[in-house]
Amino acid sequence: MHSETGIIRSFNPVNNTGLITCDLGGDISFTAANIMTKGQPASGSLVEFIMDDSSNKLQAVKIRFI
């Protein structure tokens, strides 16, 4: 697996989920539990992550702020 980069498009603190707009195009969902670095996700934050397609839904994992 290789890492991707993108920008947090949105984050809902009530259910701890959000969307990342990938630099390569498209949006990918994430949960706050997959953030490896300290800090609250905020719209516009630049992140690096791994795409996980092991379940039936593509999701960002091992997210870290850059």
What span, in angstroms and rounded, lies between the C-alpha atoms of 53 and 57? Answer: 6
Q: Give the mean pLDDT of the chain.
A: 93
Closest residue by Cα to residue 46 from 14, 15, 9: 9
Q: Domain limits of the chain?
A: 3-65
Token readout for 9 is 């498009």
The number of residues in the chain equals 66
Distances (CA, A) of 4 to 13, 14, 15, 43: 23, 26, 24, 17
Task: For 17-41, write each residue's pLDDT tens digit.
Answer: 999 999 999 999 999 999 998 888 9
Specify the pTM: 0.90
CATH number given to 3-65: 2.40.50.140
